[in-house]
Structure 1
Amino acid sequence: MGLPKAWMSWSTGKDSAWALDKIRTEGRVEVTALLTTVNQAFARVAMHAVREQLLETQAEALGLALVKIPLPWPCPNVAYEEAMERALAQARAAGVSHVVFGDLFLQEIRKYREEKMAGTGLTPLFPIWGLDTWELAREMVGAGLRAFLTCVDPRRMDRSFAGRIFDSSLLSALPSGVDPCGENGEFHTFAYAGPMFRHEIDARVGQIEERDGFVFADVLPAGNAASESPRERQSK
């Protein structure tokens, strides 16, 4: 008899990636797919603002199926919850019994997830819950996990952090009071390398812009002309 099947709640970021690696190592469940919300209007992952194409590349590099939850824009909470209910019903129909989350310590978020999943027949798992985030961040970096900062809250961090690589240099440069994993919303990431991937994802940072009170770095597939400098484009 095989392991219980699980879907991974996937944001494209480092915490999701590390939680996936952790749950695979533990061997409690078999993760068969990623579950991700996508903004239909812009073809990007919600909040992290990662292009849908790169989300698909991540799924391929992880060797997993990808289940997208399309969301309208703007997206009222009732529309979000209805979309999630349909996705969870789809999971149960596919024989899935667990959903894995990469949450770290925000109790209200965990409580919300547990309440919404109650009665669905699905059990939430939180494999990296409660870990010291400084130790966790250093462990991630030490294991080779790398990610671009795709979204920065300029009220907590300088806008120059947008587009930087999540590595030991970044951890050393973080302002006082900023959680090293960005769990309080200080920043969001796009993971492109690490032990959970079958191969590194070739991507680079393009335009950086400020909108809706946040600073976003547009991560692009390598070779996309929009990610190159004018000098690079002229040389071709």
Structure 2
Amino acid sequence: MKQAYFNWSSGKDSAFAFYKILEQQEFKITKLVTTLNSDLDRVSMHGLREELLDLQAESLGLPLEKILLSGNVSMSEYSKILGDAAEALVAAGNTHSIFGDIFLEDLKAYREEQLEKAGLKAVFPLWQQDTEALINEFIDLGFKAITVCVNAKLLDESFVGRVIDKQFIEDLPAGVDPCGENGEFHTFVYDGPIFKTPIDFSIGEKVLRGYEPSENDDDNCFSDDQKSWDTKFLFCDLIPV
């Protein structure tokens, strides 16, 4: 059986990719790897509290490795930190790195290029599958997820802090991907067939935050169009119970 680590975001695509990998019985998952914003002690992009991430790992029964990144990390710093972590994971016997990405060709190519330098092969169990079919299967299997971050340009406050169900999918505006694959929304998965026990939490405040790209991103691997990403997001704070 091939030895792999899983790039765990705490959200639904990660959880569903994890489920699919377990079904295939081709990989032995050695650990979860998650990037955190070291300034806030929260999961990068999702804004999820570190304590809830720890509870997910405990319920999954896997060790968790946290990669700490500052809030204004440049692309060169990002690549260096993740590259060093990948080399250490290879030294520990891992040969593959698993992701929950579905589309976004440029991101996939970047991941593959960076991992190849460390001697790792990237695996994408959900790659190019129909996102409407994926989210409906996710719900039908009994997974439970709640939105923790939404793009304020595309979704209003009513969509953040909301459980992902069939009504949620129906209510999404035209053009918004059912899995939020273009960054429209991010989620926290708190129950489902991969967990030993559900994760308990209460809903805290909702806040609007803006972000600016790092001033040191002159070496950014992404195009100018990708750099002009939406910078205002609505976050819902989830509090461990």
Give a deviation string over 1:29-81, Cα, whole Å, max 9, x none.
Answer: 11111111011111001000111111111100111110110112321112211
Q: Where does residue 92 of structure 2 map in the other structure?
A: 94
CA-based RMSD: 0.9
Q: Where does residue 214 of structure 2 map in the other structure?
A: none
Q: Where does residue 59 of structure 1 map in the other structure?
A: 57
Q: Where does residue 117 of structure 2 map in the other structure?
A: 119
Deviates more, 1:111-120 or 1:98-107: 111-120
What letter matches 2:35 in structure 1?
T
TM alignment of 1:26-37, pairs within 5 A: 26-37=24-35
Which secondary structure state, in structure 1, belongs to the residue aligned with residue 117 of structure 2? coil
- State the identity as a percent: 44
What letter matches 2:139 in structure 1?
V
Q: Where does residue 220 of structure 2 map in the other structure?
A: none
Give a deviation string over 1:84-136, Cα, whole Å, max 9, x none.
Answer: 01110111111111100000011111111111112321111000111100000
Q: What stretches of structure 1 of length at least 5 have no aligned partner?
A: 223-236
Q: What stretches of structure 2 of length at least 5 have no aligned partner?
A: 211-231
Which secondary structure state, in structure 2, belongs to the residue aligned with residue 118 of structure 1? helix
Higher relative contact order (CA 8 A, sep 6+): 2
Q: Where does residue 195 of structure 2 map in the other structure?
A: 197
TM-score scaled by structure 2? 0.89
Give a deviation string over 1:141-186, Cα, whole Å, max 9, x none.
Answer: 0001111101011211122101001111211211111101000110
What letter matches 2:67 in structure 1?
I
Which secondary structure state, in structure 1, belongs to the residue aligned with residue 125 of structure 2? coil
4+ runs deviating over 2 angstroms: none
Q: Where does residue 164 of structure 2 map in the other structure?
A: 166
Q: Where does residue 173 of structure 2 map in the other structure?
A: 175
| Counterpart Cα distance in 2 of 1:181 and 1:194 | 17
TM alignment of 1:73-92, pairs within 5 A: 73-92=71-90
Q: Where does residue 237 of structure 2 map in the other structure?
A: 218
| Counterpart Cα distance in 1 of 2:118 and 2:107 | 18
Aligned length: 220
Corresponding residue to 2:149 among 148, 151, 154: 151
| Counterpart Cα distance in 1 of 2:15 and 2:158 | 24
| Counterpart Cα distance in 1 of 2:177 and 2:78 | 27
TM-score scaled by structure 1? 0.91
